[in-house]
Each structure stands twice: as C-alpha cells, then as structure tokens.
Amino acid sequence: MYKKKSLFITFEGIEGSGKSYQCQKLYKKLKKKKFPVILTREPGGTLGAEKIRDIILQDYFYKNKKNQFGKYTDTLLYLAARNEHVENKINPSLSKKKIVLCDRFIDSTFAYQVYGKGVKKEFVDYIHKHILGKAKPNITFLLKVKLSKAIKRIKKRKKRNRYDKFSKAFYQKVQNYFIRIAKTKKKYVILDNTKDTDETEKIIYNKVIKYLK
C-alpha cells in the first residue's frame, strides 16, 4: 500500500547530464501507476515564469557583453521566476498531496549563480527564506556525467540555450559545485548518468517507490 503524501523531487545536473530525460521517464512511470504526479521545470513552469525564462535565455545571445544582464539581474530573474512557480504551482500541488517532479530548482542557482558567477549566497538565501515556504525538496537526484558525453548530448540538440556555448572547464566547475552541494545532506542521491542504459531510471524509480511506501 502507498501512503498519500506530498512529495517534492528535484533533478539537478549540468546540461547534457540527462536530467530532463530522467524526469520524463519517472513521470511516465508514476502516471502509469496512477500516482497524482506533475512534471514541471525551472526556470518556468507557469505562464509568467515561462515568460521570464524566455527573457533570461535570450539574453545570452546578445553579442555585446555590455548589453547582457548583470549577474544580480540574472539571479533576480531566476528568483522572480521561482517565486511565480512556487506560489502558483509547486506549493498548491504539494498542498493537494501531489508528487511534484521538478527539472532544476534551488541547487541550480547555487551552482551557476553563487558558485559559478560569484553572487553572494546570503543574498539568495534571504530571498529563498521569503519565497519558498513548504517548497523544500524531499529528494534531489544529482545526475553526474562525463564531460565528453555531456557535450555529445548537447550537440545533438536542436534547441540551444545560453549555457550550451560555455567551455568544458565551465561545465566541469559547475558539476563539481553540484557534487559539493549534494554531499552535504542525506536527501541527495548522486548518480552517474554517463551511460545510455536504463540503469539510472530503475534506481530513481525504486528510490521514489520506497519513499512512498
């Protein structure tokens, strides 16, 4: 028997780590078993937050650096999108005891903006304190990947975004930050998702089912 309880699961990792693929796999499996599950993403997830996503991701394509957002503008936009998402989708769904799967969440802000760009952690923590409410992940899957494999996966994509052009060194740095964050608490599950097998999706599914029992 499964208990009816809210569950907030986030997926984190660099581009090409296969997290969006794994989210969808888990979503489909839980849906098939008739669990009340929703799949969402950050930045985005609601109409307003998706509009902010477009603004953020478009910004990178400005050739002249002077026209690009400053790191605090960028961070505030991610946080603004998060506020919309948490208030209008994540928390209402958790209140209805749904399972919420989210492709990226707060750890992406720590890995990319705080560690990657040098935005002050206290700044992000302060805003989170005011906007998250009950939106605290119960489980976070961090998908690790060999850099050469991540780049292969990125190159196969039709749609590119701002980070798709960053160097291998940048991705390596961000991945190391993710791993550092993930080693701090028990709710993190670090999985190597370099191989294109169904091993990762099985581990993820079993972990979630165990939590629901």
The residues that touch ligand TMP, with contacts defined as CB under 6 A, are 15, 41-43, 78, 104, 108-109, 112-113, 161, 163
Minimum Å distance from CB 53 to ligand TMP?
8
Name the residue nearer to ligand TMP (CB basis): 35 or 163.
163
d(CA 91, CA 184): 25
Name the residue nearer to ligand TMP (CB basis): 77 or 209.
77
Name the residue nearer to ligand TMP (CB basis): 179 or 212.
179
Name the residue nearer to ligand TMP (CB basis): 33 or 117.
117
Name the residue nearer to ligand TMP (CB basis): 19 or 98.
19
SS3 37: strand
Minimum Å distance from CB 213 to ligand TMP?
30
Name the residue nearer to ligand TMP (CB basis): 164 or 205.
164
Length of the chain: 213
Minimum Å distance from CB 165 to ligand TMP?
10
Q: Give which of 161, 167, 74 is closest to 119, Cα–Cα.
A: 74
Minimum Å distance from CB 2 to ligand TMP?
30
d(CA 147, CA 156): 14
Q: Are 80 and 147 in contact (CB under 8 A)?
A: no
Minimum Å distance from CB 10 to ligand TMP?
10
Q: Give which of 116, 109, 117 is closest to 82, Cα–Cα.
A: 109
> Residue 125, Cβ neighbours under 10 Å: how many?
12
Minimum Å distance from CB 37 to ligand TMP?
19
Q: Give which of 58, 44, 12 is closest to 185, Cα–Cα.
A: 12
Largest CA distance in the chain: 58
Q: Give which of 127, 135, 47 is closest to 90, Cα–Cα.
A: 135
